[in-house]
Structure 1
Amino acid sequence: MSLELNINAAIKTAMLAKAEADLRALRAIKAAILIVKTSEGAGADLTEADESKLLQKLAKQRKDSLEIFRQQNREDLAKKEEEELEVIERYLPKQMSEDELRAEITAIIASTGASSPADMGKVMGVASKQLAGKADGKAISALVKELLAK
């Protein structure tokens, strides 16, 4: 079942359960899907990769907003962002653990022949493509930097 159909069904369930936080997040996902579908042309279906990118973008927006609200001591707004983030993460593919990520990046470094921090761009290019949707870009970057510094 496509993400759009899953979201529509979840919206109905959330409406019946009167789950406001779920409903806010689900409607945001649905709005983002509609924007993408209409911008690419009428009737364009999203691929699984497109859906994953869209959800990651929404999750990143929520994380960034959450960080800003916490810095400004706005716990009321931070709580809303956190609730929405939890709902969005339910639809994201499972993220890699740090150990799995470390193993993957170590293999990528070995295959690219990178040996110093100057080779970070080469490693990041390969890692970003291979690990898209499986790990956060910031986590990948930090781990690549750490491993190349050794």
Structure 2
Amino acid sequence: MSLELNINAAIKTAMLAKAEADLRALRAIKAAILHAKTAEGFSGELSEADETKLLQKLAKQRKDSLDIFRQQNREDLAAKEEEELVVIEKYLPKMMDEAELKAAIEAIIAQTGASSPADMGKVMGVATKQLAGKADGKAISGLVKELLAK
């Protein structure tokens, strides 16, 4: 079943359960899907990769807002963002844990023949393509930098 159908069904369930936080997040996802489908130059259905990118973008927006609200001591707004983030993450594919990510990046470093921090761009290009949807870009970048510095 496509993400859009899952979201529509979840919206109905959240409305019946009067789950305000879930409803906010689900409506945000639905709006993003509709926006992507009506974007200029797009036709047809969203692919699974497009859906994952869309959800990752929404999750990243929530995380960034959460950080800002916490820095400004706005726990009321931070709580709302956190509630929405939890709902959005339910629809994201399972992320790699740190051990799996480190093993994957070490394999990519060996594959590209990178040996110094100057080769970071080469490694990041391959890593972001291979690990798209499986790991956060910040985590990938930090680990690549750490492993190349050794």
Distance in 1 between the 2:42 and 2:94 partners? Answer: 31
TM-score (norm 2): 0.98
- Contact kept? 1:38, 1:44, Cα under 8 Å: no
Correspondence list, 1:79-118, <5 A: 79-118=79-118
- The answer for the alignment partner of 1:55 in structure 2 is 55
- Contact kept? 1:14, 1:22, Cα under 8 Å: yes
Query: Aligned-residue CA RMSD in angstroms?
Result: 0.9
- The answer for the alignment partner of 1:18 in structure 2 is 18
Q: Give unpaired runs (5+ residues) of structure 2.
A: none
Q: Give unpaired runs (5+ residues) of structure 1.
A: none
- The answer for the alignment partner of 1:33 in structure 2 is 33
Aligned AA for 2:50? D
- Contact kept? 1:101, 1:135, Cα under 8 Å: yes
Distance in 2 between the 1:75 and 1:20 partners? Answer: 18
State the identity %. Answer: 85
- The answer for the alignment partner of 1:146 in structure 2 is 146
Distance in 1 between the 2:104 and 2:41 partners? Answer: 37
Provide the aligned length of Structure 1 versus Structure 2.
150
* Regions of 4+ moved over 6 Å: none
Distance in 1 between the 2:92 and 2:2 partners? Answer: 13
